[in-house]
Amino acid sequence: MSMTSPIFWAYLLIVSFFVLERVLRQGEAARSLQAGQTDQGSSRLLWTIGLLNLLLVLLAPLLNTYGLGDWQSSLAGWVGIGLMVCGISLRTWAARTLGQFYTRTLRIVEDHQIVKRGPYRILRHPGYLATSIIDIGTGLALNNWIVLLVIPLTSWIAKTYRIRAEEAMLEATFQDQYRAYREKTWKVIPLLY
């Protein structure tokens, strides 16, 4: 795997993503893995799916070697890298906008409020859109249609459950204020969902 390969850059971007995820979390509450009642097991589901998908990502070169899902397309690989960069950029913007409210598990932290600036002016969950873009980009960059199908699909199932739990937590906490915010924004994809 040479440095001019999209696969090399995909792995480098994945490592960068995990480092950014750690750096962007501000304070102990944000880094805590302790899930509360409002989490509804969504963090465990996301982590389990994430670990299984990471294993698939690591196995992609082996799958490609044996012709399982491989499609040798340099163009698709570089489009995937572009998508990964866009997804990481959006995720970083969303996390920086949330600041201290950007937590690993679903939780309400001290002085919590609904963030309505940055990407949150339009979307309630731009971070999940960002990771979906990264998922698709990863499948393209690794030149493997199995990865391209499995990772976005399984991740979306976990994110859908997480979004439902997150919105229930925010509505229970902020009530009419959150309902008003929800009426003015899209859930994940502008103009669609």
CATH number for the domain that contains residue 176: 1.20.120.1630
Q: Cβ distance 114 to 175 under 8 Å?
A: no
**Structural domain boundaries enclosing 17:** 6-184
The pTM of the full predicted model, rounded to 2 decimals, is 0.93
Bridge partners for 186 per DSSP: 123
Percent of the chain with pLDDT over 90: 78
Assess if residue 190 is contained within a domain: no
pLDDT of residue 1: 61
pLDDT of residue 65: 94
pLDDT of residue 25: 87
Assess if residue 34 is contained within a domain: yes
Residue type, 45: L
Cα separation, 186 vs 21, in Å, equals 24
pLDDT of residue 89: 98
pLDDT of residue 179: 96
pLDDT of residue 2: 65
Q: In the chain, how many domains are there?
A: 1
Assess if residue 191 is contained within a domain: no
Assess if residue 142 is contained within a domain: yes
Assess if residue 189 is contained within a domain: no
pLDDT of residue 107: 86
Q: Cβ distance 119 to 178 under 8 Å?
A: no
Q: Which parts of the chain sit beneath pLDDT 50? A: none
Assess if residue 139 is contained within a domain: yes
pLDDT of residue 17: 96
* Exposed / middle / buried, residue 43 (Cβ in 10 Å: 0-12, 13-18, 19+): buried
Average pLDDT of the chain to the nearest whole number = 93
Assess if residue 35 is contained within a domain: yes
